[in-house]
Amino acid sequence: MFHRSRSANTDKVTAADPVCGMTVNPAKAAASAEYNGTAYYFCSAHCAAAFTADPAKYIGS
């Protein structure tokens, strides 16, 4: 899930790590994965590994 926030000088896109809920900048994410055509971004390799092992557990499908 992406969120767009604007400040006076920047336009920043963020995503929520589906495992821990941390806000992640996709351009600086520690890892990413695609599942069912959707890109997911992670704060750490640990969260990415947990997601990859069982994506449905984290996205509710």
**How many residues does the structure list for the chain?**
61
Q: How much is the average pLDDT of 29-46?
A: 97
Task: Answer yes or no: is pLDDT of 48 > 70.
Answer: yes
Task: Answer yes or no: is pLDDT of 10 > 90.
Answer: no
CB-based burial label for 24 (10 Å; 0-12, 13-18, 19+): buried
More confident residue, 11 or 24: 24
For every residue of 1-19, DSSP letters joined together read -EEEEE-SS-EEEEEE-TT
Q: How is the chain split into domains, by residue range?
A: 2-56
Which residues, 6+ apart, have CB-to-CB distance to 8 below 8 Å?
Answer: none
